[in-house]
Chain A
Amino acid sequence: MKARVQVMLKAGVLDPQGEAIRHALGSLGFDGVEGVRQGKVIEIDLAGTDPEAAERQVTEMCEKLLANTVIESYKIDLS
């Protein structure tokens, strides 16, 4: 099974890269861009087939390594 982990800066943490993208979009003439947040996506191939076990395992991966929970939040999608 596959896990797709989305890591984003938490709400309230200023995202300098997202802000730079927002400015660049504005200078390209895209109007009405009120905010941009940049994050990352990590795709993981798992040998197991039990969704509950996978969720537990990937949550632990996020807490230990994939996200820095001081500044980042994460979301896990399994398929």
Chain B
Amino acid sequence: MKAAVIVFPGSNCDRDMAVALRSAGAEVEMVWHKDAGLPRGVDLVAVPGGFSFGDYLRCGAIAAQSPVCRAVIDHVNRGGYALGVCNGFQVLTETGLLPGALMRNAGIRFVCKTVPLVVTTAESDFTRGYAAGAELQIPVAHHDGNYFVDAAQLERLRGEDRIAFTYRDNPNGSTGDIAGVLSDNRRVLGMMPHPERAVDAGHGGTDGRGLFEGLVGALVAA
């Protein structure tokens, strides 16, 4: 199973993402934002956290226009998998691959702590490693994680079982306590919390492992 981790100027969770994917059994290649294409045979594209392009204009807005994002959109349109974490989630909403937008936290402050997350659906290759309703401890670290969708879109996401994770105690004002959301074909996941920061006992918890192991396991089997 082959994964590509995209690196933008200002990405800072790219290597953590690569370590998490490799420890779950993926072969990982780093891809620079100016590359117009992805490596051959990539099953999963991971868009990591950080502050791509200094968060100028809007978080993820400039990154979404980079050459490699064109390739990521093509990859997803061909049925490929993509995972966006934190700034990566912002990038995926800015490309239109995921619905909604991420706004400034309702409390204005940057939030950096480990939070309880509820697995809202296990019906995806990203969440198959967990039981629906399970509670995980996963770190968040963001200033703009306040997920916004309008009421009609929220109904649609709920109706289609596309909310992957919700916050038990909403730290940022997100609509519907949403922490992670799936695309309509369930092959793209965007989430603000950092599962790659919870894969080693040294991190203080390993609840993020289930995501990487479940996902890599599903893609190896496919």
Contact = CB atoms under 8 A, between A and B. Distances in A.
Interface in B117-154: 146, 148
B219 interface: no
B57 interface: yes
Interface string B84-114: 0000000001100001110111111000000
A1 B173 CA distance: 41
A54 to B, nearest CB: 21
Interface string A41-79: 000000000000000000000001110101100000000
B148 A71 contact: yes
Contact of B173 (A16, A17, A68): A16
Contact of B104 (A16, A64, A68, A70): A16
A24 B75 CA distance: 47
A16 B146 contact: yes
Contacts of A68: 58, 61, 94, 101
A25 interface: no
Contacts of B94: 68
A13 interface: yes
Chain A's interface size range is 10 to 19
Interface in A14-43: 14, 16-17, 20
Nearest to B62: A65
B65 interface: yes
B61 A65 contact: yes
Interface of A: 9, 13-14, 16-17, 20, 64-66, 68, 70-71
Top 8 nearest A-B pairs by Cβ distance? A70-B101, A71-B101, A16-B104, A20-B108, A16-B106, A68-B101, A16-B108, A71-B148
Interface of B: 57-58, 61, 65, 93-94, 99-101, 103-108, 146, 148, 173
Given A16-B173, A68-B101, 20 more contacts: A9-B103, A13-B148, A14-B173, A16-B103, A16-B104, A16-B105, A16-B107, A16-B108, A17-B104, A17-B108, A65-B57, A66-B57, A68-B58, A68-B61, A68-B94, A70-B93, A70-B99, A70-B100, A70-B101, A71-B103
19 contacts: A13-B103, A13-B148, A14-B106, A16-B105, A16-B107, A17-B104, A17-B108, A64-B65, A65-B57, A65-B65, A66-B57, A68-B94, A68-B101, A70-B99, A70-B100, A70-B101, A70-B148, A71-B101, A71-B103
